[in-house]
Structure 1
Amino acid sequence: MKKTASVIAALLMALSLFAGCGASYQDGVYHAEFKDYDSHGWKEYVDVQVQDNKVTILTFDGVNADGDKKSEDEDYRASMEPVKGTYPAKFYADITNQYLEKGDLKDVATVAGATLSTDNFKALMTALESNMKDGVTDPVIVDSSASQK
């Protein structure tokens, strides 16, 4: 009986340690973007909606100075897809779907042909982390993207 109680106590302690590891997010809508446009004229951003401690809506894209979305730029797609095997609308969806399915930034794998954008996504989401935990919905401006380093 004592052995069973000890095992149960040990399991409860282990579970309590793991319970503290997960992020606790406040409901709200959050935004992060890079301060400057990259060398191709794009500025990537994320928009995140949190509800009941879970990211429910996630948008990752880029915009140019005219406000056009990178994911909708067919010329960009036509020049990128034959060379890299992917294009913005596809890799933005791949990256965000990974995050939504896995729920943890460390589990988002680099998308082939979109290494810089994957790194940029991780940088933007990392910059938003404390805001999402604290419920601060002010936009976060990140100094530089991976492509500017």
Structure 2
Amino acid sequence: MKIRWMVFFLLAVTLTPLHAVGSKLQDGTYKVAFDAPDAFGYKEFVEITVVGGRIDSAVFDALNTADGTLKSEEPSYESQMKSAVGVGPKEYMKQLVKELLDQQNAHVDSVAGATESSANFRLLAAEALRKAMAGDTSEGTLPQPNPKS
């Protein structure tokens, strides 16, 4: 009898996390941004849209807090970064979003030359997915990991 209860207990404990991992995303649009600009004056954000329990679309970008422009639309930033590290925001942002859509989770690989932005994307996307599991469509914020000095 004790063995039967022990087996039941072990199965219950083992299967509980599987249920949590398999939680369905709630349909809606979920946006998460950092609470402050980074050292260059940008606030990165992720916005995901869930349809039918799956990530249907996503946006990753950064807002220039001084003039309101998006990093992906600033040609001077693009060319400077691309010449310095071989990749610019247009390319790495698209690549990270594509991987998120393909994998349907925030565990995406870092893009060479955009390691910090890749890590920030993972943080923001994970929080957006947490909100999607809860169905919380209010805009979320996370502490800026690289604050402006």
> Do they superpose with TM above 0.5?
yes
Q: Tell me the residue number matched to 1:137.
A: 137
C-alpha distance in structure 2 between counterparts of 1:72 and 1:22, whole Å: 37
- For 1:70-81, list aligned pairs within 5 A: 70-81=71-82
C-alpha distance in structure 2 between counterparts of 1:127 and 1:19, whole Å: 19
TM-score in terms of structure 1 length: 0.82
- For 1:1-149, list aligned pairs within 5 A: 20=19, 21-65=21-65, 66-106=67-107, 108-145=108-145, 147-148=146-147
Q: What is the Cα deviation at residue 99 of structure 1?
A: 0.8
Q: Which runs of 5+ in 2 are unaligned?
A: 1-10
Q: What is the Cα deviation at residue 129 of structure 1?
A: 2.8
Q: What is the Cα deviation at residue 114 of structure 1?
A: 0.5
Aligned length: 132
Contact in 1 for aligned 2:28/2:137 (Cα 8 Å): yes
Identical counterparts, % of pairs: 30
Letter aligned with residue 128 of structure 2: L
User: RMSD across aligned C-alpha pairs, in angstroms?
Assistant: 1.8
C-alpha distance in structure 1 between counterparts of 2:101 and 2:49, whole Å: 11
C-alpha distance in structure 2 between counterparts of 1:126 and 1:143, whole Å: 14
C-alpha distance in structure 2 between counterparts of 1:129 and 1:56, whole Å: 12
TM-score in terms of structure 2 length: 0.82
Contact in 1 for aligned 2:46/2:128 (Cα 8 Å): no
C-alpha distance in structure 2 between counterparts of 1:55 and 1:74, whole Å: 29
Secondary structure of 2:39's counterpart equals coil
Contact in 1 for aligned 2:47/2:128 (Cα 8 Å): no
Letter aligned with residue 148 of structure 1: P
